[in-house]
Amino acid sequence: MNKTKLELIKERALLNHVPIIMDDTLETIEKYMKNKKVDKILEIGTAVGYSAICFTKFLNLGGKIDTIERNTEMIKEAKENIKIISQDYKINIFEGDAVDILPNLNDKYDMIFIDAAKGKYPFFLEQALRLLNNDGIIFADNILYKGYVLSDYNKHKQRTAVNHLREYIKLVTENPKLDTEILDVGDGLAVTKIKF
């Protein structure tokens, strides 16, 4: 059987050790997004565009995805991939560091996918909450970081990331205005909605 263009993009990403969204994480997000199409999605961490391309199926006609990436090699490949799939009119890449770009955004988004520097997750959350529509949803990938986040012992190398991910979990679970689930799918997924 012929592989689809999307399958080829995925295969190439995995071969090059690009940390694309895991299958069960994507399936979980698909369940949350079932029965509702949205107009605007924000993604922090494009890499080669794989997850952004997957998310286009959640969009209403005329809907758009803004995605942020700082690595120029990744941006180049993402642009190629997005063009191959003919989704370039739906996906806009903001080139640069999300820490600089996010504070300058003012659109409202229906879905926000946080999937970049783990040490910046608390900052990304603060910005995501500012940019989220009241009935929107925030997904944060890699929230359990290979199990390190729930483990007592962490190597020095991972400690800073782990502390920031734990802080993210604390912020989303202890804020009385938010409804959050921490799911053990893929590398861990936090799902947050604003309470009505």
Contacting residues toward ligand SAH, per CB under 6 A? 19-21, 45, 47, 50-51, 68-71, 74, 97-99, 115-117, 120
When CB distances are held under 5 to 8 angstroms depending on the partner's kind, the choice from ligand SAH, Mg ion, none that residue 81 binds is none
**DSSP structure class, residue 115:** -
DSSP 62-113: EEEEEEEE--HHHHHHHHHHHHHTT-TTTEEEEES-HHHHGGG----EEEEE
Strand 178-183's sheet: what is its strand order?
Answer: 91-95, 59-69, 38-44, 109-114, 132-141, 189-194, 178-183
Contact call for residue 142 and Mg ion (CB under 5 A)? yes
Intra-chain end-to-end CA distance of the chain, in Å = 47
Least distance to ligand SAH from the beta carbon of 63, Å?
18
When CB distances are held under 5 to 8 angstroms depending on the partner's kind, the choice from ligand SAH, Mg ion, none that residue 99 binds is ligand SAH
Contact call for residue 141 and Mg ion (CB under 5 A)? yes
Residue carrying the six token digits 């229906």:
110
Least distance to ligand SAH from the beta carbon of 173, Å?
23
**Nearer to ligand SAH among residue 20 and residue 171 (C-beta):** 20
Contact call for residue 81 and Mg ion (CB under 5 A)? no
Q: Which residue is nearest to ligand SAH (CB)?
A: 45
